[in-house]
Chains A and B, each alone.
Chain A
């Protein structure tokens, strides 16, 4: 049953040290505000799951929140590398990061299996690739009807899913649109779900086939305007491409990253405070 609360309350109540956490959003609707709050509250030893770790997990990994990562494409979209992710994998900084690597098709459907209460997913993937050699979780199964051998991989069942959406009504029914990624599947595969939204509205006024998450599958709903910044929210604001490029410079160097983390996340009170900093020309100068 969805409860309206502040984001700080939601993270405190639902994200614990050692949890398996899936923060989803495929380029669109990435829940950055929630990621920052997890860092601010100093969570440790998280097993993170996300198709595209993106900047949000680069920040969590660099901040030392994660000990494990399940992912399917770990780059800075349109820019290049995720330097904090690479530093953790290549040099164990700030701590070793165990990785479980899968393909997009696999991981998307592992959420579907989790949401469907099935133990595994089946796909025509991985044939001829080296992934089964390095990921012992990628196995095979023989079709009982045709005898065909297919790839089988375990379902994803996070302790908590975190997503961002456009709107929720007073009861906590959530509406999202645009590029939907695997957000619905992530929420339905998880034991608990936190949703941040752009706005709280009296009524969703959605057409019959709209993507709606009923309030009774959501644990906490939080009003966080611009909460997906620097990714985007369709119908509200655009992707901050300049920040994605700036991140390449901020994150490349450990000292510079630590300074950014201190000033922008650890020393800010909440996401509003963080956003206000983005308009400060002295702060902006750091990105140049």
Chain B
């Protein structure tokens, strides 16, 4: 396979592969939505995509630009109100996988999308919670897709918007969160998974052509590599074709590729 691809394409494809066919997936907008739709259009045609605006079983022909685009409602099995989506479907325990992005992420996969700096006098005011805190707590497992850099992968997040493994070990279970928490973080460089005991994010798969030095230099904490660290298989021709086709169709409709966040 020698079709060239970008690190962003590798990230999206690696994230899409994590979604098994038939899974009920609560999808955030941006990169998670791109990955979830790629999965649906390739190996997971029966994945059920749920968006917090109310569509259940959405099958958008192009990537939605916002969380409440009309094509989500038009292609959904049903559309419910916002209070219902959170009450019955998410908190009710009907969601297998929550697919999230992050502005800041720490070694225990806690997510910050609220503020950089002190809360009451922030240096950067970010959008805030949206549906993420409840997705992180209630989905059976969580996948996080985010580009890796020292600015994003920090020793300690300035604010915990969405709980990962909190302070590590069994802190999450002790806090009483119902879902199992983050299963994997998929970046443009590698895949990290929580260590079974410490729950610290550990590199388990390195994308082809990426060095360990590059990963270390892009991580704000002393990052560990699993003993059996694999190489992520590059995107197949079919995966690349499906992703590029989806992005081209989206650009034709929106004039943008749909994962601006």
Contact indicator B125/A134 (Cβ below 8 Å): no
B128 touching A182 by the CB < 8 A rule? no
- Asked whether B66 lies within 8 Å of A27 as measured between CB atoms, the reply is yes
Q: Is A86 close to B, CB under 8 A?
A: yes
**How near does chain B come to A152, taking the closest CB pair, in angstroms?**
15
Total residues of chain B contacting the partner, CB 8 A: 60
Which residues of chain B are within 8 angstroms of A26 by Cβ–Cβ distance? 53-54, 67-68, 82
Report the Cα distance A28→B175, complex, angstroms. 36
Q: By the criterion CB–CB under 8 Å, are A130 and B159 in contact?
A: yes
Give the docked Cα–Cα distance between A78 and B256 (Å).
10
Question: Which residues 123-139 in B have Cβ within 8 Å of A in the complex?
Answer: 123-134, 137-138
Whether the Cβ atoms of A129 and B68 lie closer than 8 Å is no
Given contacts A78-B258, A105-B90, A184-B81, contact A126 B67 (CB under 8 A): no
Instruction: Please state if B255 and A242 are interface contacts (CB–CB under 8 Å).
Output: yes
Contact indicator A103/B83 (Cβ below 8 Å): no
Contact across chains for B176 and A127 when beta carbons are under 8 A apart: yes
Known interface pairs A72-B129, A109-B83. Does A134 touch B260 (Cβ–Cβ under 8 Å)?
A: no
User: Residue on A with the closest CB to B30?
Assistant: A78
A215-262 residues at the B interface, CB under 8 angstroms: 232, 234, 238-239, 241-242, 244-245
B66 to chain A, nearest CB (A): 4
Contact call B83/A77, Cβ cutoff below 8 A: no
> CB of A101 within 8 A of chain B?
yes
Within 8 A of B (CB), among A52-96: 52, 71-75, 77-82, 85-86, 89-90
Q: For residue A99, give the distance in angstroms from its CB to the closest CB of chain B.
A: 9
Asked if A124 is an interface residue, CB under 8 A from chain B, the answer is: yes
Cross-chain contact B128 with A27 (CB below 8 angstroms): no
Binds A, one of B160-168, B186-194, B218-226: B160-168
Q: Would B137 and A125 count as touching, CB distance under 8 A?
A: yes
Residues of B contacting A82 in the complex (Cβ-Cβ under 8 angstroms): 127
| A232 lies within 8 A of B120 (CB) | no
Cβ of A263 < 8 Å from any Cβ of B? no
Stretch from A13-21, A173-181, A269-277 at the B interface: A173-181
User: What is the number of residues of chain A that contact chain B, defined by CB distance less than 8 Å?
Assistant: 55
CB proximity of A206 to chain B, nearest CB, Å: 16
Contact of A89 among B65, B91, B122, B172 (CB under 8 A): B122
Query: Which residues of chain B from 217 to 261 have a CB within 8 Å of any chain A CB?
Result: 254-256, 258, 260-261
CA distance A85 to B122 in the complex (A): 13
Contact B83 A111, beta carbon cutoff 8 Å: yes
Does chain A have a CB within 8 A of B73? yes
Q: Decide yes or no whether B43 CB sits under 8 A from chain A.
A: no
A74 to B67, CA, bound (A): 13
Query: Is there an interface contact between A71 and B29, defined as CB atoms closer than 8 Å?
Result: no
Contact partner, A71, options B124, B128, B131, B177, Cβ 8 Å: B128
A-B contact pairs, 27 of them (CB 8 A): A26-B53, A26-B68, A51-B82, A73-B128, A75-B126, A77-B67, A78-B66, A89-B125, A90-B123, A101-B129, A104-B129, A104-B130, A105-B133, A111-B83, A124-B91, A125-B133, A127-B137, A128-B166, A130-B159, A149-B176, A178-B73, A179-B53, A179-B68, A185-B81, A241-B65, A241-B255, A244-B66
B residues engaging A (CB < 8 A)?
29-30, 52-55, 64-70, 72-73, 79-83, 86-87, 90-91, 110, 114, 119-120, 122-134, 137-138, 159-163, 166, 172, 175-178, 254-256, 258, 260-261
Interface residues of A (CB under 8 A from B): 26-28, 51-52, 71-75, 77-82, 85-86, 89-90, 101-105, 108-109, 111-112, 123-131, 134, 149, 178-182, 184-185, 232, 234, 238-239, 241-242, 244-245
